[in-house]
A and B are shown apart, each in its own frame.
Chain A
Amino acid sequence: MEIDIKKLPVDIGVVYEGERIRGPDTFVELGGPKVEFKAELTQVVDEKDVVDGKITVIGKDIPQFTCGEKVPFGILLEVYGEKIEKDLEGVIERRVHDFLNYVQGFMHLNQRYDIWCRVSNEAKEKGLTFEDIGKALIWLFKEELPFIEKMQITFMTDEEKVKEHRETALGLYEKRDARIRGMKDEEVEEFYGCSLCQGFAPNHLCIISPQRISLCGSISWLDARAAAKVDPDGPNFAVPHGEVLDEKNGEYAGVNEAVKEYTTGANERIYMYSMFDYPHTSCGCFEAIAFYIPEVDGIGIVDRNFQEEAVNGLKFSSMATQSGGGEQMEGFLGMGIEWMHSPKFFSADGGWDRIVWMPSHLKNRMSDAIPKEIIDKIPSEDDTSSLNELKDFLKEKNHPITQRWKSVVTDELKEKVTEYIQEKNGEIYPDQASADLGLSEDELMNVIDVLQKDGTLG
């Protein structure tokens, strides 16, 4: 169908994008913080379910309102295109904001169930209707996204109808989010780099992937992609990850290249999913820091809001100073808290099975990210205040990390301890024995544990 946008009562164009309709100039407010029901939704549908160019209005149209009203508002875009997949719904929906703002006298803010629009008095005077806005939208969509073959739009201002529409939309947003959460690093071609913190940490470059949010927690892969699209020369840019060099640790040829280039050679390789060997560098403004605890061979995490000493006796601030600035520091890693939701969270180091300490408020906040079977086995400041207590706690709760301790009991060690016990005719005193054997008491007890279990000792 043909749309002549020159025949619309108001102008359409990118020049109106920044147009601000102030309160006193507003004729009607559609959605917004003072209105409970509002939502915009895009759905990809079958060809037979869409009449191209059809615009439906359910409820009052613009001219029927009285000046100063604030009303419920729903927008439903139904699109068809041979090449359009369900995954594109979010991408198409995001453009509604841009295109509606191209309409002179119409302002659009936010997205999803938060939309907030204003129609100016001037536009109302000119006779603007939803039909006009719909025509402009369809025209703009087809101009900019030629893969859209057919599109119909429904505008809703009837409260009951908007309410219903919002319910449907909420369910679909959730599905969409679940899909994004389920997106895997392996499934995309490009990660994104973020050089925003280079003012403070010149050798630091954040690598953001679908399964690894920025260290500050503010920029997801989608955010970075959106930013890079708007401003390709800005601080967020695409990093084609290239060849996978090490799947487990997350080493990618393209990432290494980008790191080298943007840190002027200071760093050459990074592992995306590990804190050992070649860890990702840390800027200084990470949300949390993960630290290796050699005494238990586990990883502790402390976030910026925890002011006391962590279980290793150090405060967030002193660990942050030590490890920030863009140097690779084995055993320390700045991280975004959202990363805990990711299956790639320390996946090379054992994932959640390796986490042995977190502040209680962080545990609460992230309880949905922590596997159920381990959540009570991770102590907080309420359970332990020293490394000794930590070890006891982990042992008592049978934290999976204790398996690691056992695995280090070598045959050689078993033999050595067995011989010693025989030498002493079975009468040993832990402090003396550990001194004689050059082991810590805990280590000795571990070995004895293992010996008892495998039947060597009765």
Chain B
Amino acid sequence: MGKVIAISGKGGVGKTLISTLLVRWLTENNIKNILAIDADPDSNLAESLDTEYDKSIGDIREELSCKSLPPGVERKKYLEGKIFEITVETDKFDLLVMGRPEGPGCYCAVNHMLRSIIDSTTKAYEYTIVDTEAGLEHLSRRTTENVDVMLIVTDTSRKGFKTAARIKGLLQEMNIKANKIFLVLNRIKEEDKEIIKEEAKLTGLDVAMEIFEDPLVRKYDLEGIPLIKLPRDSETYKAIENAMESAEWM
């Protein structure tokens, strides 16, 4: 059965970077069945993974809500096929984009179907990496459910830590099965290292990864180079590799 790893945190802290490099790490470790889910409408995981997508689940939801299917066609099966159709298949991984949040229509029933389809879809993959949005909209609407590992990313700002603590609380409140919740520290400056560790302790979460500020990542971001192309020996990729190799939660 597949393992679902979700990456959350305040906007702009580097969730997409972590998601991208996790996908990359998995592909480099001979995992064949990987699904990446872009659940953050404010970012672009597809671009960061050096691929493109045509349609999102949001588009399909809208299409479906204004479409009358022939009565003999089962809506859920139809939806399942549509989701398959919009799944981007690359040599090494698949990608599904959740897309924009809901319009004014009704989605109780459609969301319920989506939930169970996404749930069974993730079971078909060895690993699913979910890049979530800051507000945890999809989690609270339960379109992504049953997360095995939640990595909460924060930069060194006070706000980042605050959001991390809030997410932890929210997860517990929603009873979401995050068997393991970890903190990922991103963009650490050497001189702040000690203070940051103190801050991290206050959240009550274990730290899964420590990533230092990396001018190369900034350059890639600035020039729009897909982050998946970061060199193997870049500090950031090495940090992720190290963390993953010794990660007991995998």
Interface residues of A (CB under 8 A from B): 18-20, 22-25, 33, 90, 94, 97, 109-112, 114, 116, 173, 176-177, 180-181, 194, 196-197, 199-200, 214, 216-220, 222-223, 226-227, 235, 283-287, 304-305, 337-338
Of the 9-residue stretches B65-73, B150-158, B236-244, which lies at the interface with chain A?
B65-73
The residues of B that contact A90 with a CB separation of less than 8 Å are: 72
User: Residue B123 contacts which of A18, A199, A304 (CB distance < 8 angstroms)?
Assistant: A18
Complex: A337 Cα to B66 Cα, angstroms: 10
Which B residue sits closest to A97, measured CB to CB? B77
User: Residue A196 contacts which of B65, B85, B112 (CB distance < 8 angstroms)?
Assistant: B112
Complex: A197 Cα to B112 Cα, angstroms: 10
Complex: A214 Cα to B110 Cα, angstroms: 12
Which A residue sits closest to B91, measured CB to CB? A24
B125 touching A20, Cβ below 8 Å: yes
Complex: A110 Cα to B80 Cα, angstroms: 8
Which A residue sits closest to B85, measured CB to CB? A33
Instruction: Indicate whether A287 sits within 8 Å of B106 (C-beta atoms), given known contacts A20-B125, A22-B94.
Output: yes
Complex: A287 Cα to B104 Cα, angstroms: 10
Interface size on B, residues (CB 8 A): 36
Instruction: Indicate whether A197 sits within 8 Å of B108 (C-beta atoms), given known contacts A109-B84, A116-B84, A227-B76.
Output: yes
B108 touching A285, Cβ below 8 Å: yes
Complex: A24 Cα to B32 Cα, angstroms: 10
Beyond the given pairs A90-B72, A114-B81, A304-B104, 5 more chain A to chain B contacts, judged by CB atoms under 8 angstroms and listed by A's residue number, are A111-B78, A114-B78, A223-B74, A223-B75, A305-B66
| Interface flag for B47 (CB, 8 Å) | no
A216 touching B109, Cβ below 8 Å: yes
Complex: A110 Cα to B84 Cα, angstroms: 10
Complex: A219 Cα to B113 Cα, angstroms: 11
The residues of A that contact B124 with a CB separation of less than 8 Å are: 18-20
Most interface-central of A24, A110, A235 (chain B CB within 10 A): A110
The residues of A that contact B73 with a CB separation of less than 8 Å are: 111-112
Which A residue sits closest to B89, measured CB to CB? A23
B106 touching A226, Cβ below 8 Å: no
Distance to closest chain A CB from B125 (angstroms): 7
Interface residues of B (CB under 8 A from A): 32-33, 64-66, 68, 70-78, 80-81, 84-85, 89, 91, 94, 104-110, 112-113, 120-121, 123-125
The residues of A that contact B113 with a CB separation of less than 8 Å are: 218
Distance to closest chain B CB from A169 (angstroms): 12
The residues of A that contact B109 with a CB separation of less than 8 Å are: 194, 196, 214, 216, 218-219
Distance to closest chain A CB from B201 (angstroms): 37
The residues of A that contact B106 with a CB separation of less than 8 Å are: 216-218, 284-287, 304
Complex: A114 Cα to B74 Cα, angstroms: 12
B78 touching A110, Cβ below 8 Å: yes
User: Residue A304 contacts which of B80, B85, B105 (CB distance < 8 angstroms)?
Assistant: B105
Distance to closest chain B CB from A434 (angstroms): 43
Complex: A44 Cα to B124 Cα, angstroms: 35
Distance to closest chain A CB from B86 (angstroms): 10
Distance to closest chain A CB from B78 (angstroms): 7
Which A residue sits closest to B124, measured CB to CB? A20
The residues of B that contact A218 with a CB separation of less than 8 Å are: 64-65, 75, 106, 109-110, 113
Instruction: Indicate whether A283 sits within 8 Å of B78 (C-beta atoms), given known contacts A18-B120, A24-B89.
Output: no
A177 touching B70, Cβ below 8 Å: yes
Which B residue sits closest to A210, measured CB to CB? B71
